[in-house]
Chains A and B, each alone.
Chain A
Amino acid sequence: MNRYLTAASAALAIFAFTAAPSAADTIRVLNWQGYGTDEDWSLEMFEEKTGHKVEHEYFNSEQEMLTKLRTNPGTYDVVLINSAFTPQAAKEGLIVPIDTAKIPNAADLTPEMRNNPNLVIDGKTYGVAWVWGATSFAINTEKFDKAPETIEVLWSGDFADKVGWRDDAVEAVQMAAIALGQDINNPSDLDAIREKLHALKPQIRTFWTSENDWNQYMSSGEFDVAVYWSGSASRSANNFGLPVEFVVPKEGAIGWLDGLSVPKDAPNTDAAYEFINWMIDPEFYVKWDTDVGAPASANAKAMAGLPEDAFNRTVLGNSAVTSKLKFMGPIEDDMREKMLELWQETKTFYQK
């Protein structure tokens, strides 16, 4: 009897397995998890408008994203690339120029973002400016009387073993560069940065790898203060109700602009364009930021649609804050290698 049952379920399984292949208009998006493109309500609206379904693959770091593009050619239709990495991806031939005429909403993008030199190379658009924000740190407001003014709080003995960090070479080096007042894209004194990072050893509780990780560690009290992204901080506060405040300290913060690109040999370019168009649509953005929490949009119309008191208008709209942002730019190959090596060496140092 049991055997018939197993045989039957096996047959069923094989049937379901062969029946699995998806419809033609399914596009595959490569992004961070929980970063706008994969909101259920948005995908439902998109499917209603265009009939296209959207599947997702995720990465944990820009390095991993690039390797996924290298080793899975012809798989993805849309990929989110931090504009600092767009030139590298374009140079390696991983992404192709985008015909912005087919993306109506692109006309509403703030010109300096649309034409950002990292996104537009030799007059060709390799990435459509999507959202921008800051990488700095966020605090648990229950553990602070008032928000700290300096990045040195990450190195403060008061928060030993209570700091959350991200296991990412470029981000780690750039945070240290901010603390030391060095150029984040081409730091002059790597030894000082190494020393600064080594000094974090007693501070770091653990590395977080995803927003979800971050939220759990914050809510369980593992972190008091942790490196974070501006859009994610508003999600943690809005969506998860955590007592979290994003801090842009006096030393400054890392600024970034994320773009949406189309990989080489994307199976469904037209649907990819439609999806990118939807992603920069004010209708999507306003709902995303209001209901969930998002970084600032590159679309001027979308920003105008936000309520007056939105974080993205009060904080990121404030020139006193934005003037403190140091924007990520392309990093030379040998500098990137040095950063990777420095970070690996530092992580080994943390083990001792």
Chain B
Amino acid sequence: MAVSTTASGGAGRANSPTRAVVLLTGPAYVWLTIAVLLPLLAMFYFSFLTEAPIAGRVGELTLEQYREFLEHGFYTTLILRSLKLGATVAFFCFLLGFPCAYVLAKTIKGRWREALFLLVIIPFWSNALVRVFSWTMVLRGNGLLERSIDFVIPGAGSLGLMFTYPAVVIGLVHSYLPYMILTCYISLQAIDDDLIEAARSLGAKRLTILRRLILPLAMPGIVAGAVLIFVPVIGSFMEPRILGGRHGTFIGTIIEDQFTAVFNWPLGAALSFILLACVLVIFALFAPVLKRAA
């Protein structure tokens, strides 16, 4: 971030910057501390307890929750499954969203662009839950999709998409696609058209232009979009529950269960921190890419 020294220097009061900084940033950070940082610390503490120290219970320090995780292989299976879900959804969002953003940013001009852009963004404004739910009506047996396929090819039979892994992916891609389109659009728009024109006049093939010029320049947008999608998806629980049925068990649904049903908050906390550690490791592995993107 470029910062002007002249602006602050001109004020002339020597001790005022510190005071101003505290006054300006203080409230926001006190808020973040109370609402996010302290809760995370508390959760970390809870993950080492035998029982949540509430409702008259007493928790003692233990490593039992983490041992529980290690002893039962299925938790690892579910974490890997959630990570895979996050990657799959992010990938399909890119596959669908990037060309879409490209068309919007580079081939459509003027009022049409604005109108179409708005159309793409509006679903982002409507409720994600509602959108996921609307898929149940499309995918369900004898629902709209099967009926319309049957109409085109009579007797095509049942797709059986509802309550499968693909159903969860479809619902999530639908929910998060606007993020990818938005971030890609912003970075694509920043690419100078003349640059592409120049490459073309130098005889570069379309694919080469895409691979060597457009993709690298659009990378910040793609990476930002992927992160914005990956993170919430690995913790998702309501989408798998609504669309996944028997195939809808993920680490997110297990963690939610610990908090809302089983009342084993320490185990829920431990699983959350293990999941968080996985996220951090992935970010660290991709740090070079992320840094280049930023």
Contact = CB atoms under 8 A, between A and B. Distances in A.
Interface in A184-231: 204-207, 209, 216, 220-222
Interface stretch (B20-28, B29-37, B95-103, B137-145): B137-145
Given A205-B163, A344-B74, A348-B74, A67 B262 contact: yes
B141 A222 contact: yes
12 contacts: A60-B261, A61-B261, A64-B261, A71-B55, A205-B163, A205-B246, A206-B162, A220-B141, A341-B72, A344-B74, A345-B74, A348-B78
Contacts of A73: 55
B152 to A, nearest CB: 21
B74 A67 contact: no
Which of B241, B246, B262 has most A Cβ within 10 Å? B246
A340 interface: yes
B160 interface: yes
B200 to A, nearest CB: 45
B77 A66 contact: no
B263 A66 contact: yes
B154 interface: no
Given A220-B143, A347-B249, A351-B247, A63 B261 contact: yes
Interface of A: 60-61, 63-64, 66-67, 70-71, 73, 93, 161, 165, 204-207, 209, 216, 220-222, 340-341, 344-345, 347-352
B64 to A, nearest CB: 12
Nearest to B76: A348
B143 A67 contact: no
Contact of A206 (B78, B246, B263): B246
B260 A67 contact: yes
A351 B248 CA distance: 8
B242 to A, nearest CB: 10
B133 to A, nearest CB: 13
B141 A351 contact: no
Nearest to A347: B249
A63 B262 contact: yes
Contacts of B123: none
Interface string B62-79: 000000000010100110
Nearest to A208: B245
B81 interface: yes
Nearest to A161: B160
Contact of B262 (A216, A340, A345): A340
A222 B143 CA distance: 11
Which of B72, B77, B78, B261 has most A Cβ within 10 Å? B261
Contacts of B249: 347-348, 350-351
Interface of B: 54-56, 72, 74, 77-78, 81, 140-143, 160, 162-163, 241, 245-249, 254, 260-263
A350 B55 contact: no
A221 B142 contact: yes
A94 to B, nearest CB: 9
A70 B141 contact: no
A204 B241 CA distance: 15
A68 to B, nearest CB: 8
Contacts of A221: 141-142
Contacts of A71: 54-55
A341 B267 CA distance: 12
A60 B263 CA distance: 14
Contacts of A348: 74, 77-78, 249
B77 A207 contact: no
Nearest to A219: B142
Given A73-B55, A345-B74, A351-B81, A67 B247 contact: no
A207 B245 CA distance: 5
Contacts of A66: 263
A350 B140 contact: no
Nearest to A68: B260
B140 A220 contact: yes
Nearest to B77: A348
Contacts of B160: 161
A222 B254 contact: no
Contact of B56 (A93, A207, A222): A93
Contacts of A216: 140
Which of A67, A70, A161, A220 has most B Cβ within 10 Å? A67
Contacts of A352: 77
Given A222-B162, A351-B77, 18 more contacts: A63-B261, A63-B263, A64-B261, A67-B260, A70-B55, A71-B55, A93-B56, A206-B162, A207-B245, A207-B248, A209-B241, A220-B143, A221-B141, A340-B262, A344-B254, A348-B78, A350-B247, A352-B77
Nearest to A73: B55
A67 B263 contact: yes
Nearest to A200: B246
A64 B163 contact: no
A43 to B, nearest CB: 27
A209 B260 CA distance: 15
Nearest to A64: B261
Which of B74, B78, B143, B245 has most A Cβ within 10 Å? B245
A345 B143 contact: no
Contact of A64 (B81, B143, B241, B260): B260
A209 B54 CA distance: 29
A220 B77 contact: no
Contacts of B262: 63, 67, 340
Contacts of B246: 165, 204-207, 350
B274 to A, nearest CB: 15
A70 B163 contact: no
